[in-house]
Structure 1
Amino acid sequence: MNETPAGRPTLETVARAAGASRATVSRVVNGSTTVRPDVAESIRRAIADLGYVPNPAARSLVTQRTDSIALILPESATRVFSDDAFFPGVIRGVGEALEKADKQLVLLLASTQSSHDRILRYVHGRTVDGVVLASMHGADTLPEELRVAGVPVVTSGRPLGEATVPYIDVEHASGVEAAMNHLIGLGRRRIATICGPQDMVAGRERLAGYLTGLQALPG
C-alpha cells in the first residue's frame, strides 16, 4: 500500500480504493465540480473509509489559496493582551466570522518598524489569502503597501489621510454629538469626554463631536 512514512493514506491510496486516477481524486479533494457525480461520490467514500486528510501545503499549491486570513493589530503585545476589552472583542469577532467560513485566523502584531517589515515579508510570501487591519495609528503605510502588493485588505476604522483600501467604520462625530444632546436634555451642564488617541480617526472625530455638542449648552 502506498502510504506516507507515518502510515497516513495518500492520494494514490484513495485513487486505488475508488478506482479513479490521482488527478481526479485531487480535483474532488480541492472542490472541483467537473468530476462526474458518481465518481466523486466513490472518491468521497474512499476518503472517509481510509481516513484520508489532505496535505495543506500540497493543496495550497494547487488552489493557490491558504484558507487563512491575517488580523494585523499595529499594537504591542503588552497592549493587546492587557485588560482592555477592545482587543479581545475584535479578535473574537474576526475569529468567529472566519470559523463560520471554515478559514483560519492568523494574528500578527506590528508595533515597531521591524515588525512592520517582517509582516510585509510574511504576507508577500502568500502565506494568507487576505488581511484585516484594526487599531491603526497615524498615517500607517501598511494598508497601502499591502494593496500595492496585490493582497486583498480591509481596515476596521478609516485610516488617517486618503483611504486607498476598503474600510468599515461608524459615525463617531455624530454619535458623540447625539450623546451630548441626550445629556444636555437631561439637564447636565458639566460634561467631560474621553475621546481616545488623536493619532486615530476615531479619537479625532469623537473630539469633534464633543466640541460640536458643547455649542448646544445653554448660556
Structure 2
Amino acid sequence: MTADPAPPTRPVTLEDVAQVAGVSRATVSRVINGAQTVDAALRTAVEQAVAATGYVPNRAARSLVTRRADSIALVVSEREQRTVSEPFVGRMFTDPHFGRIVGGLLDVLRPAGIQLLLMLADDDASRSQLVSFLRQGHVDGVVLLSSHADDPLPELLTRTGLPTVLAGRPTRSAAPIAYVDVDQQAGARLAAEHLVGLGRRRIATLSGPLDMPAGQDRLNGFRTAMAALGDPDVVSVEGDFTQAGGAEAMKRLLAEHPGIDGVFIASDLMALGALPVLYREGRRVPEDVAVVGFDDSSAALACDPQLTTVRQPVEEMAAEMAGLLLRQLGEAGRSTPSAVFRPTLVLRHSA
C-alpha cells in the first residue's frame, strides 16, 4: 500500500512573520529591507520571528522595493591578445595578483550579503556589451581592474552613473573616479636603496609595460631613487608582468649588459621567469646578482632562492575597494576619497 504524498509546504509569508512577531506587515517589510528607523525592540521581535518561521525573502520582489541588485561586478579590462604566449583569460587566472584581489573583495562583500560577478572586456565589442548589461541594473556598482592608459572603460563607466572604484591610479584625468593603489614609486625607491646598500654598483631594472601606470611609476620611482643615490643612467629593459615576459627581458638584459650585479624586477611573476635565465648564464643569486621583486605574491615564494621583494598589501587594498564602493552605495551622489597604501620591503634570500 502506497502512502499518500505529503501536501506541499506553503511558503512562509510576511504576514506569517508579522503574526508571530506581533507587528504589522509593513513593519516586517521595513526591517527586512534594511530601514534604519524601526524601533530596536520591534526589530528584534521581527528578526526572532524570521528565524522561528524560516522566512526567506523574495530577492526579486525585494529588488523592486530597494532598487538594489545586491551584486557587484568585478570587471577585468585588457587589450585583445596582449601577448601571443598566453591568452587573456589564461593569464588572468594564473596571475597570483588576481586571486588576492578577489579574496580581499569577498572578505568585505560576503558578510554584507553581496554577490561578486566576474566580467571580462578585451575588445570594443565586449566593452559595448558590458556597458549595456551594466546599464540594465543587474549590479549596484563596479570594481574595475584596468591598467592601460588608453582604456576607455573608466570614462564609459563614469557616464553610466554606476558607483565605480578603480584598482590602481587612473590615467585619464577627465574621468572622476575613486581608486585604490599602492605608492608605486615609494616601493621602487625601497628596492633601489636596498640594492645600493648591499654594495651593488652595476644595477639594472626589468620594468613592467610602459603603457601601464604601474609600469611607469615603478620605473620612474626606481630611476629617480638611483639618480639620487649617484647613478643617473640606470639600464632598463621593458617586460610585460608575466613569467614568460620576465624570462625574455632578462635574456635581452644579459645580452646587452652581462656585467650587472643587481637588478630590480618590477613584478614577482617576472622574477620567477628571470631567475632561471640567470642560472643558465652561470650567474648565482644573490652572490653574483642580487634580485629584488615587487608584489610579495606567491610567486616570490616559488622563486629559487625565495625573493626579496616590495610588498603591496593587495588583500587590504581590495578590501578598501569594496569598502569605498559600499560607502558610495550608502551615500548616493557623494564622492568617496581614494586611498594609497604604503609599501614595505620583505627580506628573503635573493638580495
Give the TM-score normalised by structure 2: 0.55
1:181 and 2:193 aligned: yes
Hey, what's the Cα distance between the residues in 2 that align with 1:45 and 1:185? Answer: 63
Question: Does 37-46 or 48-57 show the bigger shift?
Answer: 37-46
Which 5+ residue runs of structure 2 have no aligned equivalent?
A: 1-7, 79-87, 234-351
Q: Are 1:114 and 2:125 matched, yes or no?
A: yes
Whether 1:59 and 2:62 are equivalent positions in the alignment is yes
Residue 12 of structure 1 aligns with an amino acid whose one-letter code is E
Query: What is the one-letter code of the residue matched to 2:200?
Result: R
In the alignment, the residues of structure 2 paired with residue 65 and residue 177 of structure 1 have an alpha-carbon distance, to the nearest angstrom, of 44
1:164 is aligned with what amino acid?
P
Cα shift at 1:200:
0.8
Within the candidate set 34, 37, 46, 1:43 is matched to: 46
Contact 1:184/1:217, CA 8 A, preserved across alignment: no
Partner secondary structure for residue 81 of structure 1: helix
Structure-to-structure mapping, 1:156-195, within 5 angstroms: 156-162=167-173, 164-195=176-207
Report Cα offsets for 1:160-200 as digits up to 9, x if no partner.
23152111222222321332122112111222323211121
Counterpart of 1:22 in structure 2 is 25
CA distance in 2, matches of 1:40, 1:93: 31
CA contact (8 A) 2:69 2:138 kept: yes
Q: Is the 8 A contact 1:110 1:116 kept in 2?
A: yes
Q: CA RMSD in A?
A: 2.4
For residues 127 and 198 of structure 1, the distance between their equivalents in structure 2, rounded to whole angstroms, comes to 35
2: distance between equivalents of 1:12 and 1:111? 49
Q: How far is 1:54 from its partner? A: 0.4
Name the counterpart of 1:155. 166
Identity among equivalent pairs (%): 47
Q: Give the corresponding residue for 1:9.
A: 12
Question: Deviation digits for residues 96-142 of structure 1, max 9, x if unmatched?
Answer: 12224332222211122222112211211122221111242232221
Q: Is the 8 A contact 1:73 1:136 kept in 2?
A: no
> What are the equivalent positions in structure 2 for 1:87-102 lying under 5 Å apart?
87-102=98-113
Which segment drifts farther, 110-119 or 9-18? 9-18
1:136 pairs with 147, 161, 185, which one?
Answer: 147
| Higher-RCO chain (CA-CA 8 Å, sequence separation at least 6) | 2
Q: 1:67 touches 1:104 (CA, 8 Å); kept in 2?
A: yes
Q: Taking structure 1 as reference, are residues 31 and 218 closer, same or farther at Cα in structure 2, changes over 3 Å only? A: closer
Confirm or deny: 8 A CA contact 2:73 2:116 kept in the other structure: yes
Gaps of 5+ in 1: none
**TM-score normalised per structure 1:** 0.85
Deviations 1:17-52 (A, max 9, x none): 445443332112112244455544443333222200
SS in 2 for 1:97: helix
Amino acid at match of 2:103: R
After the TM superposition, which of the residue ranges 180-189 and 207-216 deviates more from structure 2?
207-216
C-alpha distance in 1 between matches for 2:183 and 2:42: 53
Distance (whole Å) between structure 1 residues aligned to residue 210 and residue 141 of structure 2: 28
Name the structure 1 match of 2:116.
105
Match of 2:209 in 1: 197
Query: Number of residues paired by the alignment?
Result: 214
